Chain A
Amino acid sequence: MKIDRLIRMANDISDFFNAESNKEIAAEGISKHILRSWDPRMRNDIITYCMQDGSGLNDLTKVAILKLQQS
C-alpha cells in the first residue's frame, strides 16, 4: 500500500488526538485507534516506515507508532 497514504492517515489521526494536553494519553489514543481499525499489512507498513525513515510523520505520530510496534 502506498506509504504516502498511510503517512497521511496516521497524521490525520494524530491531529485529532493532539487536542489532548497529556501527550502520553494522546499517543495511546492514536496507537489504539490504528490497532483497532487498520489491517495488519497497513500497520506493518507504517511501523516499518517509522523505523526506517519516519520523516513524514509528526512527532506525536511517531511516538504512537512506536507504541503500536510494542503492543
Chain B
Amino acid sequence: MSINKEQDFGTPASTASHLVTLEIDGFTVTVPEGTSIMRAAASIGIDIPKLCATDSIEPFGSCRLCVVQIEGGRGMPASCTTPAAEGLKVVTQNQKLAEVRRGVMELYISDHPLDCLTCSANGDCELQDMAGAVGLREVRYNPIETHLDAIKDESNPYFSFDPSKCIVCSRCVRACEETQGTFALTIDGRGFDSKVSPSQNESFMDSECVSCGACVQACPTATLMEKSVIDHGQPEHAIITTCAYCGVGCSFRAEMKGEQVIRMVPNKDGQANHGHSCVKGRFAFGYATHKDRMTKPMIRSSIKDAWQEVSWEVAINHAASELKRIQAKYGKDAIGGITSSRCTNEEVYIMQKLIRAGFGNNNVDTCARVCHSPTGYGLKQTFGESSGTQDFDSVMKADVIIVIGANPTDGHPVFGSQMKKRLRQGGKLIVVDPREIDLVKNSPHVKANYHLKLRPGTNVALINAFAHVIVTEKLMDEAFVKDRCDIASFSKWETFIAQEHNSPEATESITGVPATEIRAAARLYATANNAAIYYGLGVTEHSQGSTMVIGIANMAMATGNLGRVGVGVNPLRGQNNVQGSCDMGSFPHEFPGYRHVSDPVTHQMFEAAWQAELSSEPGLRIPNMFDAALDKNFMGLYCEGEDIAQSDPDIQHVHAALRSMECVIVQDIFLNETAKFAHVFLPGASFLEKSGTFTNAERRISPVRKVMTPLAGYQDWEVTQLLANAMGYPMNYNHPSEIMDEIASLTPTFAGVSYEKIDQLGSIQWPCYDEASVGTPIMHEDSFMRDDGKGLFMLTEFIPTTERSSSKYPLILTTGRILSQYNVGAQTRRTENNAWHAEDLLEIHPHDAEDRGVKTDDWVGIKSRAGETVLRALVTDRVQPGVVYTTFHFPESGANVITTDNSDWATNCPEYKVTAVQISKVNQPSEWQAKYQAFSEKQLDLLEQGISNV
C-alpha cells in the first residue's frame, strides 16, 4: 500500500466535444478544445512546474512558474491560462524557461522559512517540490523585510494558518469562492503587504469560514495545514471509502498511518462530491476513536441494574435466548428490529433477513420512517419507484431550481456548494420555507428570486396553488402528459386542481404567501427550459407529507420536468444511507426492492432463497411498536445504529414503551440514549472499521472500506450473523460482497451490482438491471417504472393539520439541522465541531420575543400539548412572527419532548415540523430535563459500576 497521490492536472478538464491536436516537447497530444496547455501536457506525463494552479479551480496565471514557449509565438505565456490549439508546437523545458523558473522560485524562497526538515508539509509540499524541479541551488537575496514573523492563526480547531509560509498564490481564496462558494477569504493589501485574509482581517473562527477545508486542500505549502498532520506527520497510505454523514455520500481518501486516520481527503474522482467536502466529512471523524466508544458486550436483567461486561458468546446467546423466551411467552410477533440509515446496505439487508426469516415476522422498520418514508410512498405511487430521479450533477443544467423544506448549505453542504455554483452561473432560485435559509440571501452572489415564506403545515395548499396556476394558465407540457402519463388520472387531477379553492388567491389566507408571488414563481418554474425540484424533511415530516410528495410529482409531470438532465424530483436524504436502507427491505411491508410482502411471486422467491417460511402480512412500524409495547404485545427489540430514545417524537411516550419491554438489544458504537433503556449492549463498528456499501440520495452505491480493525472485534454484519445463528437461523457469509451478491440475485434493480463492478467504476447508480449495465444517472427517461410505464396523477386535497396554534399555544415550532452537527449528534458532539454549535437554541422573531420580554441568551420554556423543555433563546428575524425554530442535536435539549404524535396519513412519518407551543422566560431547566438528567447520570453510574466490576 502507498499514499498514491492523486494526479494534479493543473487546470480543470474541458467538457468540449471538439478536439484539437498539438505537439508538446515533440509528442503529439489530442485534447478537448479549451484544455490548457498545462493539462494537455500533464495528460501525456509532462509535468510543467506550477504553484498557483491546481485542477480543482480555474487558472489564475500569477506564479509565472508554468511558463512555456510556443513556436511562432511571442514571449513566455503561462501554460495554465493558455488554451491548447490546433497545430501548436509547445516547448516546456529549455534553458531560458529554466532560468525564468529558477528566478521565480528564488524570489519565493527568499521570503520563506527554510525549515523544511521540521515543517509539517515535509514530503507533501509543492513549493519544496518545485524548488527541486527547477534546480534551485541558492538564494542570492537578503531581504530587509520579510513575512517570517507573521503570527499564526490557530483559531480553527482542525487546521492552522501560518502566514509566514504563504506564497500568496490565491489558491485558498479561489477554492473558497469556486469550490465552496463562501467567499470567506480574500487577498488583503497590495504588493509586499498582500496577505490572505479571512473576512475583514479576522481570525478563521470569527470569519464566515465554514471550515469545509477546501482551502487547506488547495494550499501548496504548509500555510494551511490540518492539525492532525502537524501532530502526527504525513500519512503513508490511503484507502478510498465513503463518508458516514449526510445523504450526499462523499467519497474520501482515508489517509492513514498504520491504523490511525491522519486525515480525510475528499476524493477528486468521487462522483458525488468531485473532490469537495464539508466540515463534518473532512474533519469530524474523531468520534470513531473517542473515549466514549463502547468496545465490550454487556448484559443486565433490568435497566435498574449495573451493566455486566461479558464475552461476545455470552452476550449473543443471552440476547437470542431472551428473544426466544419472549416469543414463547407472548407470541412470534412480539419481537422485531429497527435498522438505521447509518448502517451499510449489507448490514441492513441481513438484519431484515434475520427478522423476516429468523424471527418469523415482518416487524422490521428503519429510521426513514421518521424522515423520508413519505418520499418512498409518494414517488412509488406516481412514478413507480421510491427514489429521486436525478444525479447531483444534473443541477448544473437546471435553469430554475425550487428548494422546498430543505437547507442544502447546512444539511447537504457539498451539494449545496454545487447548487450555489449553478446559481452563480445564472440559475434562478425559488425557496419555499418558513425560515430564511442561507440560500435566500445570505450566500454571496446568490439570491433567491422568490422566497415563499409559508406558514408551517400549509405545503399542500401551496403546491396546489402552484399547480393551479400551471393548469389554468395553460403552462403545461401537454405533449409530455399525453405521451408519458396516465391520461384518466391526469384528467381527473386537471379538473380538481383547476377548482377555485386551489387558486393562489384562495390559499393566500392559508399559506400566508401573497398570491402574486405564487403566480410569478409558478410561471417561472413552468416556463423554464429545465426546472428541478429539491426537497427535504420540510416536505415529508408533516401530517400530509406523502400528499406533498405526490403534489410535487404531479407538478413535475404536468410541466414535463422529468426524464432528462437538469430537471426532476430530488429528495435530499438526511443520512448517508437513507436510500439504501429503504432499498434493502427495511420497511415492514416490503421486501428488498420495494416489493410488497404479500406479492406471491416475490414471497415465494424469498422463501426459496432464504429457506424459511415467511409472513405475507405487514409488520409493525416504529410508532406501532411503541404502542404495542405499552399494550404488552411487543416485548423484545433489536435496534442497530438508531437512537430512537432521542430522535423519535413525543419522547416520553417512546421512553415509556422502551421501559415496558423485557429485552431491548442495542448495537451501537456509543452508549446512546436508547442504550440507557437496554438490557443487552452489542458494541458496533464505525464506518472506518467495516466494509460494505452506502447508497446516497442520487441512488449511487459507493464502497465503504475497512481502514482499521474493529475496536470491538467484529464488523456489524458479523454481529447480526452471530445473533442469527444463535437464534437458530443459519447465516454463513464470509464477506459483505457475498451479501451484495445475494441482494443482486434477488432484486431486479440491483441485478448488475457487484463489488467487482463498484471497484471498477468507483460507484454505480441503480437501477442496474444486468451485468452489462453501468447504472442509471437519470430515471424515467423513456417511461415511468409503474407497471404500465405511465406516470400517475393523484388528487392532493389540502387537509389542515390538527396541530394548530391557539391562545394557549400561539406559536408554531418547526425544527431543522445545522451545518456543524449531525442529527442526534452522537457523532459530531464527540468532535471539535462543538466549537461552532455547543447547544441547541430556540430561534424566535424579535416581535414575539419582545411580547414575552425575551432577549438573546435568555432561558425560555417551550411548552406544547406533549410536554415542556427549556432552551436558550436566539432572537432573529430569520424566522417569521408566529414561528419558532430549533435544532435537535443534543439529548438534553429535549426537542422531542414537545413534538407530538401526529403523523403522515400514509406512512406515520412524524409531524416534526409543526408543533403549537408557548414560550416564556424561565430560570431553570424543565421538570423533564431535570428528571432525564438524573436518569442519564444514573445510567452512566450503572455503566461505570459494570466496568469497574470486571
Contact = CB atoms under 8 A, between A and B. Distances in A.
Contacts of B771: none
A2 B333 CA distance: 17
A5 to B, nearest CB: 6
B624 A39 contact: yes
Contacts of B901: 5
A1 B618 contact: no
Given A15-B905, A39-B617, A1 B624 contact: yes
A19 B496 contact: yes
A16 B628 contact: no
B478 to A, nearest CB: 23
Nearest to B799: A15
B795 A13 contact: no
B641 to A, nearest CB: 23
B797 A36 contact: no
Given A19-B795, A37-B621, A39-B619, 10 more contacts: A2-B627, A2-B631, A16-B905, A19-B496, A36-B596, A36-B598, A37-B618, A39-B617, A39-B624, A41-B628
B838 to A, nearest CB: 37
B795 A36 contact: no
Nearest to B619: A39
A16 B617 contact: no
Interface string A8-26: 0100110110111000000
A67 interface: no
A1 B633 CA distance: 8
B844 to A, nearest CB: 31
A33 B621 CA distance: 14
B620 interface: yes
B618 A13 contact: no
Interface string B789-800: 000000111010
Interface in B601-619: 617-619
Contact of A9 (B633, B796, B908): B908
A19 B363 CA distance: 32
A13 B905 contact: yes
Interface in B899-913: 901, 903, 905-908
Interface string A27-55: 00000010011111110000000000000
A62 B903 CA distance: 21
B588 interface: yes
A33 B618 CA distance: 11
Contacts of A12: 543, 905
Interface residues of A, number: 19
Given A1-B631, A1-B633, A39 B620 contact: yes
B293 interface: no
A70 B150 CA distance: 82
Interface string B864-906: 0000000000000000000000000000000000000101011
Q: Chain B interface mostly helix, strand, loop or mixed?
A: loop
A42 B596 contact: no
B589 interface: yes
A37 B333 contact: no
Contacts of B696: none
Contacts of B633: 1, 41
B827 interface: no
A9 B618 CA distance: 16
A35 to B, nearest CB: 8
B547 interface: yes
B627 to A, nearest CB: 5
Contact of B618 (A2, A18, A36): A36
Contacts of A42: 624
Q: Give the 9 A-B residue pairs with the shortest CB-CB distance, closest first.
A: A12-B905, A19-B795, A19-B797, A15-B799, A1-B627, A39-B620, A40-B617, A16-B905, A13-B905
A16 B496 contact: no
Contacts of A40: 617-618
Nearest to B631: A1
Nearest to B908: A9
B797 A39 contact: no
B901 to A, nearest CB: 8
Contacts of A18: 797
Contacts of B621: 37
B335 to A, nearest CB: 13
Nearest to B495: A21
Contacts of B547: 16
A58 B485 CA distance: 33
23 contacts: A1-B624, A1-B627, A1-B628, A1-B631, A2-B627, A2-B630, A2-B631, A5-B901, A9-B905, A15-B799, A36-B589, A36-B596, A36-B618, A37-B618, A37-B621, A38-B618, A39-B333, A39-B363, A39-B619, A39-B624, A40-B618, A41-B633, A42-B624
Contacts of A5: 627, 901
Nearest to A22: B492
Nearest to A18: B797
B661 to A, nearest CB: 15
Nearest to B496: A19
Contacts of B620: 39
Contacts of B363: 39
For A9, A36, A39, A42, the residue with the greatest tally of chain B CB atoms inside 10 Å of its CB is: A39
Contacts of B546: 16
A34 B543 CA distance: 17
A18 B544 CA distance: 14
Contacts of B496: 19
A20 B496 CA distance: 9
Contacts of B630: 2
A39 B588 contact: yes
Contacts of B619: 39
A36 B619 CA distance: 10
A42 B905 CA distance: 15
Contacts of B795: 19-20
Contacts of B908: 9
B712 to A, nearest CB: 34
